[in-house]
Copies of this chain bind each other. A is one copy, B any other.
Amino acid sequence: MTNSSSSTSRENLVHKVNFSNPRSFSTTVKSDLKETFFPDDPFRQFKNEPSAYRKAKKTVQYFLPVFEWLPQYSFKLFRYDLLAGITIACLAVPQGISYAKLANLPPILGLYSSFIPPLVYAIFGSSKDIAVGTIASASVLLGSIIEQAVSPKDNPTLYLHLVFTATFFTGVFQFALGFFRLGILVDFLSHSTIVGFMSGAATIICLQQLKGMFGLTHFTSKTDVISVLRSVFSQTHHWRWQSALAGVCFLVFLLATKHVKKKKPSLYWVSALAPMVTVVIGCLVAYFAHADKHGIQIVGHLKKGINPSSIQFLNFDPEYLPYTIKAGIMTGFLALAEGIAIARSFATMKHNQIDGNKEMVAFGMMNLVGSFTSCYLTTGPFSKTAVNYSAGCKTAMSNVVMAVCMMLTLLFIAPAFGYTPLVTLSAIIMAAMLGLIEYEEAYHIYKVDKYDFCICMSAYLGVIFLSMDVGLMISIGLSIIRALLCVARPPISNLGNVANSAMYRDIEQYPSVEKVPGVLILQLGSPIYFANCTYVRERISRWMDHEQSISESKSADIEHIILDMGGVSAIDITGIGMLTEVLKSIERKGINVLIANPKMEVMEKLMLSKLVDTIGKDSIFLSINDAVEACRFTLRSSKKGVDSKVETSDVIV
């Protein structure tokens, strides 16, 4: 067989590999940056606009979504939003007071936080369903971090100022994340982490409510389950049966309304109004029965009037900065994750899209302005948003309605809520939190993915036994280790031919496939990076040993190795170095190496590093089948003994 005929045999292969020049550096960088920071291509809607005016209008609408929906707003839509707004306002009062207590803050702050932030969100926010408010888990987390700096009992004013400062940092952090399009960071909070953390927080918060239920006055400031339970059960002589009785009644009532909603979703308003009803009943009883003289504590004096300015209270004392910054970033991160996840789920239900980075800017603005106006951390809490959605909200106007209701409350009837018994608030919190312990979801995770279950449980156990921030960080750390492990240990499988086809599949997955005699086909997993180079090398050599130990009995040596690179999405310089070494060491054993279907990014690197020239363009094929055909050709000819050596080196190497 001569040189010319062997080269003809190559030309017979119809399918050619694309060896054109690599893309320029600027093209690849541009495309990489775009995929990293603008994966949703937010400006694609402007590109096709013809006039500059319309472009400008679209841009303003992009940054201030209020201009998108307000011009087309009609009375018909308002009727829906009005109803939804009033409903969530009824939820906002008791939730606001309760969650402020969770963060050891004056209850009035919870009401303030439901007035200004919803207005800000209505201007900047793009979600139509989110109802703005405070959330329990972030409130506790915020409190537990700031408490490390200053005790809310010894120095309540300083504590309050530090909370404003933390909220300020939350705003800056959230705004910066959105502005610099770092929404990618929030993606690192996995579903399992959130389930575990939320369930853990709910468990702890429930147990903490035993304080209010039993009417205790002294309580631990720690958030781990052991301290909390010890605090409850070491004070049995302080338990007050009046308080406990009232608490149980309220709790049963609230849980019953939740049950009603579950059975008949159209009766959502029963459970939405229930907390308000509880509070009103509680207030009335407390007022007329002078409950505070019978051992039932009440919220206490609530000042009339809307939010005072708090900008002058922001405290940047270096002594407290580590705490305020830590609290700001951690709670901000958590609030973002919850808010965006919720906005996304509800948007999906209405077939809309949510731009995560835009939402971050809106949340950031909300908390920035909030920190200037005596509010603390707000986001889009699940419970309120679900009620808003069920009540039929159409636009962010429902938040405006809620804000107006809150303003009226603050201006006229706030002091009346001062009679709310603490036990009522505890019952409200407990009822809300019991629904957040997602044991069913945890079981589902357990069934599908054991490692995800570990991540989930590490968050849960970390939160209840250590502390909220430590639990969250352990779980995020484990998630990242998992992601890194999956980069470090890509699957490398041995392929065989599916009968009567040009397909090659994993032998383990499809035991019926047939190995090609004399050819070892390995599918490399993706991507090949410094972190997995050693592994890939070891795994290839292990497959070769394995194959040789089998073939010893069958006396059919490996003559060719085909590396299927179709699944390798990227390769770095360490990876290329490893590949060069592996190829050399395999060829030294007298085995030919063929490469099938390298992707664009990989091919570019192979060409830039001149590895293509080392392997030879003749050894790179568009598909495994083409490569196998080429192998068969040389196998056949070498068996015939027709000048096999020259031929092999010519066709393959």
Q: Does the CB pair A599–B509 fall under 8 Å?
A: yes
Of the stretches A37-45, A121-129, A167-175, A317-325, the one at the interface is A37-45
Of the stretches A136-144, A155-163, A375-383, A487-495, the one at the interface is A487-495
Closest Cβ of chain B to A22, distance in Å, is 10
Closest Cβ of chain B to A477, distance in Å, is 12
Closest Cβ of chain B to A394, distance in Å, is 20
Q: Does the CB pair A191–B573 fall under 8 Å?
A: yes
Q: Which of chain A's residues 13-27 have a Cβ closer than 8 Å to chain B?
A: 14-15, 18, 25
A506 touching B600 in the complex, CB below 8 Å, given contacts A484-B480, A498-B15, A535-B39: yes
Q: Does the CB pair A192–B530 fall under 8 Å?
A: yes
Q: Does the CB pair B505–A502 fall under 8 Å?
A: no
A351 contacts chain B at the CB level, 8 A cutoff: yes
Q: Does the CB pair B449–A573 fall under 8 Å?
A: yes
A35 contacts chain B at the CB level, 8 A cutoff: yes
Besides A35-B489, A190-B572, A192-B574, 9 new A-B residue pairs in contact (Cβ under 8 A), listed by A number: A29-B450, A187-B531, A190-B529, A191-B573, A191-B577, A449-B572, A452-B572, A452-B573, A484-B484
Q: Does the CB pair B448–A39 fall under 8 Å?
A: no
- Contacting residues, chain B, for A484 (C-beta < 8 A): 188, 480, 483-484, 487
Q: Does the CB pair A190–B353 fall under 8 Å?
A: no
Query: Which B residue's beta carbon lies closest to that of A508?
Result: B600
- Contacting residues, chain B, for A29 (C-beta < 8 A): 450
- Contacting residues, chain B, for A622 (C-beta < 8 A): 498, 503, 505
A348 contacts chain B at the CB level, 8 A cutoff: yes
- Contacting residues, chain B, for A356 (C-beta < 8 A): 534
A188 to B489, CA, bound (A): 12
A486 touching B487 in the complex, CB below 8 Å, given contacts A509-B18, A526-B525, A534-B187: yes
Q: Does the CB pair B488–A184 fall under 8 Å?
A: yes
- Contacting residues, chain B, for A532 (C-beta < 8 A): 187
Q: Which of chain A's residues 186-212 have a Cβ closer than 8 Å to chain B?
A: 187-193
- Contacting residues, chain B, for A576 (C-beta < 8 A): 448
Of the stretches A54-62, A73-81, A601-609, the one at the interface is A601-609
- Contacting residues, chain B, for A545 (C-beta < 8 A): 44
Q: Does the CB pair A39–B450 fall under 8 Å?
A: no
* Residue of A40, A508, A539, A542 with highest tally of chain B CB at under 10 A: A40
A569 touching B567 in the complex, CB below 8 Å, given contacts A450-B29, A498-B15, A605-B449: yes
A570 contacts chain B at the CB level, 8 A cutoff: yes
- Contacting residues, chain B, for A35 (C-beta < 8 A): 489, 535, 539
Closest Cβ of chain B to A77, distance in Å, is 23
A538 contacts chain B at the CB level, 8 A cutoff: yes
Q: Which of chain A's residues 452-511 have a Cβ closer than 8 Å to chain B?
A: 452, 479-480, 482-491, 493, 498-503, 505-506, 508-510
- Quick one: copies of this chain in the complex? 2
Query: Which B residue's beta carbon lies closest to that of A588?
Result: B351
Q: Does the CB pair A581–B449 fall under 8 Å?
A: no
Query: Which B residue's beta carbon lies closest to that of A189?
Result: B530
- Contacting residues, chain B, for A506 (C-beta < 8 A): 599-600
Q: Does the CB pair A530–B479 fall under 8 Å?
A: yes
Query: Which B residue's beta carbon lies closest to that of A186?
Result: B534
| Chain A to chain B contacts (Cβ below 8 Å), 5 pairs | A452-B573, A483-B530, A487-B487, A525-B526, A526-B569
- Contacting residues, chain B, for A609 (C-beta < 8 A): 444, 447-448
A499 to B16, CA, bound (A): 11
A177 to B569, CA, bound (A): 30
User: Which listed residue (B15, B448, B541) contacts A573, Cβ 8 A?
Assistant: B448
Of all A-B residue pairs in the complex, the 6 with the closest CB atoms, nearest first, are A190-B530, A191-B574, A509-B600, A567-B567, A452-B573, A40-B538
A622 to B184, CA, bound (A): 33
Closest Cβ of chain B to A2, distance in Å, is 28
A421 contacts chain B at the CB level, 8 A cutoff: no
A211 to B356, CA, bound (A): 56
Q: Does the CB pair A605–B448 fall under 8 Å?
A: yes
- Contacting residues, chain B, for A482 (C-beta < 8 A): 529, 572
- Contacting residues, chain B, for A605 (C-beta < 8 A): 448-449
A7 contacts chain B at the CB level, 8 A cutoff: no
Closest Cβ of chain B to A501, distance in Å, is 6
Interface string of A564-586 (1 = CB under 8 A from B): 00110110111011000100010
A572 to B191, CA, bound (A): 10
Interface string of A318-362 (1 = CB under 8 A from B): 000000000000000000000000000000100101001000000
Q: Does the CB pair A535–B187 fall under 8 Å?
A: yes
A191 to B531, CA, bound (A): 10
Query: Which B residue's beta carbon lies closest to that of A37?
Result: B489
Q: Does the CB pair A351–B187 fall under 8 Å?
A: no
- Contacting residues, chain B, for A500 (C-beta < 8 A): 14
Query: Which B residue's beta carbon lies closest to that of A445?
Result: B573
A89 contacts chain B at the CB level, 8 A cutoff: no
- Contacting residues, chain B, for A190 (C-beta < 8 A): 529-531, 572-574
Query: Which B residue's beta carbon lies closest to that of A453?
Result: B573
Q: Does the CB pair B601–A192 fall under 8 Å?
A: no
Query: Which B residue's beta carbon lies closest to that of A534?
Result: B187
A527 contacts chain B at the CB level, 8 A cutoff: yes
Q: Does the CB pair B530–A490 fall under 8 Å?
A: no
A9 contacts chain B at the CB level, 8 A cutoff: no
